[in-house]
Chains A and B, each alone.
Chain A
Amino acid sequence: MANVAAAEPTHKRSFWAGIGQGRHVLGIAFMVPAAVFLLFFLTYPLGLGVWLGFTDTRIGREGVFIGLENYESLWGDSLFWLVVFNTLLYTIAASILKFGLGLWLALLLNENLPFKAFFRAVVLLPWVVPTVLSAIAFWWIFDSQYSIISWALIKMGLISAPINFLGDVTNARASVIAANVWRGIPFVAISLLAGLQTISPSLHEAATLDGATNWQRFRYITLPMLSPIIAVVMTFSVLFTFTDFQLIYVLTRGGPLNSTHLMATLSFQRAIPGGSLGEGAAIAVAMIPFLLAAILFSYFGLQRRKWQQGGAD
């Protein structure tokens, strides 16, 4: 009797303790909130978006399945191809500039400087403020009559009339790319700076003793040691640039002559003001192969080599 009484609570306890302490049950229970959110608001809409691309849904009207019709009409739509071209141009030009300038800024910040922490904090500001609000500032900076850049250049005697920043095809493309680069440099620079700080100075000292030039030290020490982090940073940068919407929406709304229209802005324009949700979704889905290509390229092309982690080659 005494035995049973003693055994009973321990049995109970171990049962409840089993539920409470068991890694698998508890682990899954802890995952539930995140899983609900992500399945319901991320995975499901992703699938719904793909499905919508195959329908002729409009705002206020259920669509029916129309197969590849949306994609066929996009295939024959010269505006769509212009937009794909714009997006690739925008992404490639902005990413190269962000990488080059960001790496340069990171190298500068990695020098032994007075007020280093201050510089690092200040440099990150463009990345912190809301894109839309800084884009509005750029809108004013790129004003066709009262642009401060035009004013400065006229004062210096370099040009005679204000530059039409956002009204001309080439200028508009250059302007939106410049604004995007302005916002993206801090992210690239600060992330690469974190990578640079992990490179031991003794490597550079050893190379200098062996007679390496500055360029050789950069090319054969800094760059290889940095390449894993470069791969990640640039993948993120390319993804964000390729799917950019805010900057274009504020500065040009795709104009002039659709020369700055990106896939995201075209998708928005067709779907929300235009009402063709199906077609907008199809354009959004058409972005996915490009994104996958960028991710796979960085994963296979630039992944860590063994020696970068301290192992043998």
Chain B
Amino acid sequence: MAQPQPVEMTDNSTGMSYLDSLPRRVVTVFLPLIVFVFVLLFPFYWMAITAIKPNFQLTDYNNYSPLWVVEPTLEHIKYLLFETSYPHWLWNTVYISVAATVISLVTSVFAAYAIERLRFNGSRWVGLGIFLAYLVPPSILFIPLAIMVFGLGIYDTKLALILTYPTFLVPFSTWLLMGYFRSIPFELEECALVDGASRWQILIKVLLPLSVPGLISAGIFSFTLSWNEFIYALTFIQSSENKTVPVGVLTELVRSDVYEWGSLMAGALIGSLPVVILYSFFVDYYVSSMTGAVKE
């Protein structure tokens, strides 16, 4: 009893890396990692540097180093914001993404709760069906959906995208939330039931407050997916004022043979910023939603 406790092993965090010498780790770990990070980030740097380069430096590699900029200019960004429909496209993308995300989240919460907790007859099959629905790619669906959108009279409206984006958002969010609900102990719900709460109250007052992290994960992932969507937006939208950023930049800023790389890159950069900012605030949620969808 009085024997001294053995000292706790605390080197789990370092694993066995202490076995490698520092020079060896530099060559096998840090060097490749730096190359990876450089390659993965260079296009962003290139985008940013091009967006603020004056036109005369853009293609003159003999007198100016392409990797740096002298006399940075906001000309391209000004052109983008005041002489094109770009602000309009940004607003459209925000509007469509938020609407589609909210619809999908509400729908998915109910569906996930029903499948995971109410366990109605056939819920297992419905759960499997939801997973299979996630595997159906938009490239297969866009032609028949285009015909439906036309038939419903919502062609070339934002509504067309708000209604079709949930086709890939709902399966994903439901699947994610099912996993999340599964991790919440059943006993909490049983207690609430014993205390006379209805299913509705349990969902609103017990389960949802506990699943806020899951809801954030599903929400930001859905928002990013809608923001990035391209093929539906390209097919269902015709008029310039209803376009989203990816479609607008590609179809309206690319004109004839003279590419205005400065404004194109500025458009790409500004169009990426909202998701990048959102992502930087919620990295862990983002990662957990990505890996959560893969794990089970």
Residues of chain A from 232 to 277 with CB closer than 8 A to chain B in the complex: 232-233, 236, 239-240, 243-246, 249-250, 263-264, 267-268, 271-272, 277
Q: Please tell me if A71 contacts chain B, counting CB pairs below 8 Å.
A: no
Q: State whether the Cβ of B294 lies closer than 8 Å to any Cβ in chain A.
A: yes
Interface assignment of A52: CB less than 8 Å from any CB of chain B:
yes
Are A41 and B111 closer than 8 Å at their CB atoms?
no
CB distance from B142 to the nearest CB of A (A): 7
Residues on A lying within 8 angstroms of B by beta carbon are 17, 20-21, 23-28, 30-31, 33-35, 37-38, 41-42, 44-46, 48-49, 52, 57, 101, 104-105, 108-109, 111-113, 117, 119-126, 128-134, 136-138, 140-141, 145-146, 148, 151, 182, 185-187, 190-191, 194-195, 201, 204-205, 208, 229, 232-233, 236, 239-240, 243-246, 249-250, 263-264, 267-268, 271-272, 277, 280-281, 284-285, 287-288, 291, 295
**B contact residues, range:** 35 or more
> Which chain B residues lie closer than 8 Å to A250 at the CB level?
250
Contact A291 B135 (CB under 8 A): yes
The stretch that binds A, out of B71-79, B80-88, B162-170, B208-216, is: B162-170
Per-residue CB proximity of B149-176 to A under 8 Å, as 1/0? 0000000000000011011001100100
| 15 chain-A/chain-B pairs, Cβ below 8 angstroms | A30-B111, A49-B143, A105-B36, A112-B17, A125-B44, A129-B275, A130-B272, A133-B246, A134-B268, A182-B39, A204-B15, A232-B295, A249-B230, A249-B250, A295-B135
- B279 contacts which of A111, A128, A187, A191 (Cβ < 8 Å)? A128
Cα distance A125–B43 in the bound complex, in angstroms: 11
Q: Which of A25, A34, A186, A243 contacts B107 (CB 8 A)?
A: A34
Cβ B33 vs Cβ A42 within 8 A:
no
- From the candidates B119, B268, B287, name the one contacting A133 in the complex (CB within 8 A): B268
Contact between chains at A291 and B133 (CB < 8 Å): no
A contact residues around B61 at 8 Å (CB): 146, 151
- Distance, CA A243 to CA B139, complexed state (A): 6
Evaluate contact between B107 and A37: CB separation under 8 angstroms.
yes
Asked whether any CB of chain A lies closer than 8 Å to the CB of B118, the reply is yes
Beyond the given pairs A33-B111, A128-B224, 12 more chain A to chain B contacts, judged by CB atoms under 8 angstroms and listed by A's residue number, are A34-B107, A42-B141, A104-B32, A108-B32, A112-B13, A130-B271, A134-B43, A146-B61, A190-B290, A243-B137, A245-B231, A249-B234
When distances are taken between beta carbons in the complex, the residues of chain A under 8 Å from B167 are 37-38, 41-42
- Decide if B265 is an interface residue (CB 8 Å cutoff): yes
Bound: A268/B59 CA distance, A: 34
A45 and B144 contacting across the interface, CB-CB below 8 Å? yes
Question: Which 4 residue pairs of A and B lie closest in terms of their CB atoms, listed nearest first?
Answer: A27-B120, A34-B111, A27-B118, A30-B114
Complex contacts, B36 vs chain A, CB 8 Å: 101, 105, 108, 123, 185
B199 within 8 Å of A (CB atoms): yes
Q: What 0/1 pattern do residues 175 to 209 of B give for CB contact below 8 A with A?
A: 00000000000000000000000111000000000
Knowing A46-B144, A229-B295, the reply to whether A125 touches B271 (Cβ < 8 A) is no
Also in contact, A52 and B147, with CB within 8 A (given A42-B141, A130-B275, A243-B139) = yes
Q: Which of B232-249 contact A (CB under 8 A)?
A: 234-235, 245-247, 249
Q: Is the CB of B136 within 8 A of A46?
A: yes
Residues from chain A with a CB closer than 8 A to the CB of B113 are 30
Total number of A-B contacts with CB less than 8 angstroms? Answer: 283
Query: In the complex the two chains form, is B230's CB within 8 Å of A245's CB?
Result: yes
From B29, B43, B279, B290, residue with most partner A Cβ within 10 Å: B43
A80 CB to nearest chain B CB (Å): 16
Give complex CA distance A20, B193 in Å. 12
Q: Which residues of A contact B144 (CB under 8 A)?
A: 44-46, 48-49, 52, 281
- The answer to whether A140 and B50 have CB atoms under 8 Å apart is yes
B267: which A residues are within 8 A, CB to CB?
A: 133, 136
Task: Find out whether the CB atom of B143 lies under 8 angstroms from the CB atom of A280.
Answer: yes
Are B110 and A232 in contact, with the CB atoms below 8 A?
Answer: no
* B55, CB-defined interface residue at 8 Å: no
B134 to chain A: closest residue by CB: A236
Task: Tell me whether A38 and B249 are in contact in the complex, defined as CB-CB below 8 angstroms, given that A137-B47, A140-B265, A246-B230 are known contacts.
Answer: no
- In Å, the complex CA distance between A38 and B246 comes to 25
What's the least CB distance linking B87 to chain A, in Å?
16
The distance from the CB of B225 to the nearest CB of chain A, in whole angstroms, is: 10
Are B287 and A124 within 8 A (Cβ)? yes
B69 interface residue per 8 A CB criterion = no
Q: Is the CB of B121 within 8 A of A31?
A: no
Give the complex CA separation of A104 and B31 in angstroms: 13
Decide: A123 and B119 in contact? CB cutoff 8 A: no
Please report the C-alpha to C-alpha distance between residue A151 and residue B68 in the assembled complex, in whole angstroms: 14
Q: Report A-chain residues with C-beta under 8 Å of the C-beta of B228.
A: 129-132
In the complex, what residues of B have CB within 8 A of residue A288's CB? 140
| Given A23-B119, A126-B40, A130-B246, A268 and B231 contact (CB-CB distance below 8 Å) | yes
**Could you tell me the distance between the alpha carbons of A46 and B147 in the complex, rounded to whole angstroms?**
12
Closest to B273 in A: A129
State in angstroms the CA–CA spacing of A107 and B115 once bound together: 36
Contacts of B146 in A (CB 8 A): 271-272, 277
A102 CB to closest chain B CB (Å) equals 10
- Please name all residues of chain A whose beta carbon is closer than 8 Å to the beta carbon of B140 when the two chains form the complex: 46, 49, 243, 284-285, 287-288
Contact B141 A46 (CB under 8 A): yes
Chain B residues with Cβ under 8 A from A201's Cβ?
12, 15-16
Let me know if A49 and B141 touch, CB within 8 A: yes
The 0/1 profile, CB within 8 Å of A marked 1, for residues 93-110 of chain B is 000000000000011101
